[in-house]
Amino acid sequence: MKNNVFLLLSVIAVLVISSCKKDVDHPSHPSNEGEVITTLRLTFVDSANTSDVRVAEFRDPDGPGGIAYDRFDTIRLARNSTYYTQVLLLNETVTPADTISNEVLQESDEHLLCYTPGGISATVVVTDIDSNNLPIGLRSSWYTTGAGNGTMLVVLKHQPGTKNGNCSTGETDVEVGFPVAVN
């Protein structure tokens, strides 16, 4: 009987000690933790004049929540032009910044970027494709016609196993509605 008691007690002791305690007053730095997308940067190169490079960016330096975004640009384009457009996604909470768009490219068969213009005469044609011949959207061509102001909704969807070429499935990783001015 006594042996049983000691056995039980030692089992309990081991179980109690095995639940280790973390350092409460020295929490690890948030930039070591997880992954946030802080920045969406669109770079436009004029097909007629490759030295004409335009950048539009949305940046929330600590990700969703916390402090508010500190940069939200208007996309400014010239009418009747064609732009080669590239998407860059960054995590700028770490130094050097982590280029999330590279990871998106690596898992391109699970990701899709969609572009929806609102109130402007511009069309977007995605020019990159994944291993299943479905669009990715990190690269695209933008065709502007008349001048005007409007919006362009840029959406990145994560669609593991459900990617079919449109943005109706999956979970939204990025959704930014840029104001657009075509002059």
Partner 1 sequence: MLDDHDRTRLEYAAIYIKETGQSALSDSAGHYRIEGLCDGIYTVRVSHLGCDDLLQSVRIKGSTNMDFHPEHHTEDLQTVYIAASRIADRTTQTTVLLDKQELERSRGLTLGESLHEISGVTTLNTGNSIAKPVIHGLHSNRILVLNNGIRQESQQWGSEHAPEIDPFIASRLGVVKGAAGVRYGPDAIAGVVIAEPAPLPDSAGVGGEVNMVGATNGRSGTVSGTVEGNHAVLPALSWRLQGTLKKSGYVRALDYYLKNTGFVEADFSGALGWEKERYGAELYYSQFNTTLGIFSGAHIGNLTDLQIAFDSETPLDTCGFSYAIDRPYQQIRHDLLKANAWVSTGTAGKLSVVFARQYNLRNEYDKHLPLNDSLAGLNRPQLLYEIISYTTDVMWEHRAVGGFTGSIGVSGLWQANATEGRLFIPNFENDRYGAFLIERFKQPTYELELGIRYDAQHFSAYRWIYTNGDYLLTNPQRDFSNLSGTAGFIWKADSSLTLSFNAGTAWRAPSVAELYSSGLHHGAAAVEFGDPNLRTEKAFNTILNVQYRKGSNFQAEATFYCNPIRDFIYLRPELPPTLTIRGAFPTFYYRQTDALLSGIDVSAQYRPWRKMSVTGRGSLLRARNVRDNEWLVMMPADRVELEVDFLPTARPRVRENVVGIVAQYVVEQTRVPANSDFVAPPPAYLLFHLEASTTLQWNRQQLVVGLSVRNLLNSSYRDYLDRFRYYTDAMGRNIVLRLRMPLAFTKAEKN
> CA-CA distance, 108 to 117, in Å (whole number)?
23
Give the start-end residues of each E strand in 71-110. 71-72, 75-77, 82-91, 98-99
Instruction: Tell me which residues in 10-29 interact with partner 1 (CB under 8 A).
Output: 12, 15-16, 19, 21-29
Question: Which of residues 81 and 157 has its CB atom nearest to partner 1 in the complex?
Answer: 157
Binding track over 80-119 against partner 1, x by CB under 8 A: -------------x----x-x--xx-xx------------
Residue type, 19: S
Give the residue ranges of DSSP H helices in the chain: 2-18, 100-106
Candidates 68-76, 79-87, 119-127, 135-143: pick the segment binding partner 1 (CB under 8 A).
68-76
Residue type, 11: V
* Contact status: 62 vs partner 1 (CB under 8 A): yes
* Contact status: 129 vs partner 1 (CB under 8 A): no
- 95 to each of 62, 90, 113, 132, 176, how far by Cα in Å? 13, 11, 26, 34, 24
Binding footprint of partner 1 on the chain (CB under 8 A): 1, 5, 8-9, 12, 15-16, 19, 21-31, 33-35, 37-40, 58, 60-69, 72, 93, 98, 100, 103-104, 106-107, 155, 158, 160, 162, 168-169, 171-177
